[in-house]
A = this chain, B = another copy of it.
């Protein structure tokens, strides 16, 4: 296994749960503004992560532009989840979801107990590197 292109000394901080928040997002049709709703969400999520093991990373674009604000999450070895239609009020739900994902032995975010915004806002999920369906 070769090293990923972007290996940095900070990589070790990303083996636990990570939430990526798009800082460019604004709801479709919303006027442009200096501080985007996505940036507000990133700030609120970072605040909500204080004291937890969750790392929050602001990202310039997650390319879910028509259904933002957007966040994605994964923990080492888990599936990756993308959520849209988020709101600053859902920062706590993101943290709760990331911790739930980190604790899932099968790497899958359980439906039961999943915060509501992470149910109705689900955009896509992607398997971890090396995953293949057992009978697929």
Contact of A57 among B59, B63, B132 (CB under 8 A): B132
Main secondary structure of the interface of A (DSSP, over half): loop
Instruction: Enumerate chain B residues within 8 angstroms of A70, measured Cβ to Cβ.
Output: 124
- Please give me the residue from chain B that is nearest to A42 by CB atom: B136
| B58 and A136 within 8 A (CB) | yes
A8→B76 contact, CB < 8 A: no
A92 within 8 A of partner (CB):
no
A-side interface residues, number (CB < 8 Å)? 49
Given contacts A1-B12, A132-B57, contact A107 B6 (CB under 8 A): yes
Would you call A80 an interface residue if the criterion is a C-beta within 8 Å of the partner chain's C-beta atoms?
yes
Q: A30 to nearest B CB, angstroms?
A: 19
Residues from chain B with a CB closer than 8 A to the CB of A32 are none
